[in-house]
Amino acid sequence: MTSLIREIIIDAEPDEAWDALRDWYQLHERLVPGFVVDAVPQGRDRVVTFFNGSRVQELFVGADDEARRLSWAVTDGSLGLTHYNASAQAFRHEQSGQTRFVWTADLLPDAVAPAVAQLIEQGLAVIKSTLEKGSLSS
């Protein structure tokens, strides 16, 4: 199993980042617009459509408001995955007070890890851009 851990510093308050991350059904509008183009609720879960037309069914695993951490899993074998569970967390950056946003994913098969890592890095860049724009208008 491959574990991917990627992080980025965002010029926004951690509570703002958490508010957008925690809005489970609105990630295509509040967190990664353009990267995710749609998120359709299915009970507690969602079906996510990405910019490239790929679709995945995501299981909502849980949210921890105190830790500002959200976790989910891909349940339908999309993107060649046989296993995928992930979490994202918004920490306060110790020196600056900005957000240290961390995305962690465990996945199988190992062969898809480079493609998934690239998607995570693209997603983080969009998150940074989106949240920094929102911070400026607040």
Tokens, residue 36: 């995710």
Task: Give pLDDT tens digits for 70-106.
Answer: 999 998 888 889 999 999 999 999 888 899 999 999 9
**If DSSP codes are grouped into helix, strand and coil, which group holds residue 31?**
coil
Return the structure tokens found at 70: 């959200």
Domain span at 36: 2-137
User: Is residue 134 over pLDDT 80?
Assistant: no
CA–CA distance, 87 with 82 (Å, rounded to integer): 17
CATH of the domain at 31: 3.30.530.20
pTM: 0.93
> pLDDT of 7-33, one tens digit each?
999 999 999 999 999 999 999 999 999
**What total of structural domains would you count in the chain?**
1
